[in-house]
Amino acid sequence: MADKPESGKIFGIPYNFERPSVGRMLSSYWQPGKGMLVKKPFGIGYTLNLANWRSWLVVLVAGGLLWQERQSAEKSAAEAEGDDGPVEVVVDDD
């Protein structure tokens, strides 16, 4: 039985299942001169290249959206706590 390759491409998407090392992990996330997306050090697909300014923009936007979502969840939870309970509604059949 032939050995399966630990890295390569399938349908144009890179994969790498070699045992990750600290050096390979660090060097894969910081690649000056490369684009915004680079091959993942372990797994399937791409990851952000933190040496590219566009990646930091993506991280800031994602962080801002996460912060906004948490703030709105806290606000609605606080409003729900102030709820007085059920309200009786009277409908006139005129």
Residue 74 within a domain: yes
Q: Is residue 76 part of a domain?
A: yes
In the structure encoding, which two tokens stand for residue 3, read together? 């050995």
Residue 20: predicted pLDDT: 83
Inside any domain, residue 53: yes
**Residue 31 within a domain:** yes
Closest-CA residue to 53 (of 34, 27, 39): 34
Whether 51 maps to a domain, the answer reads: yes
pLDDT of 53 higher than 90: yes
What's the structural domain count of the chain? 1
Residue pLDDT, tens place only, 26-48: 888 999 999 999 999 888 999 99
What is the Cα 13 distance to its own chain's centre? 18
Per-residue pLDDT band for 77 (boundaries 50, 70, 90) equals confident
How far is the C-alpha of 50 from the C-alpha of 7, rounded, in Å?
23
Question: Residue 17 is part of which domain span?
Answer: 7-81
pTM: 0.65
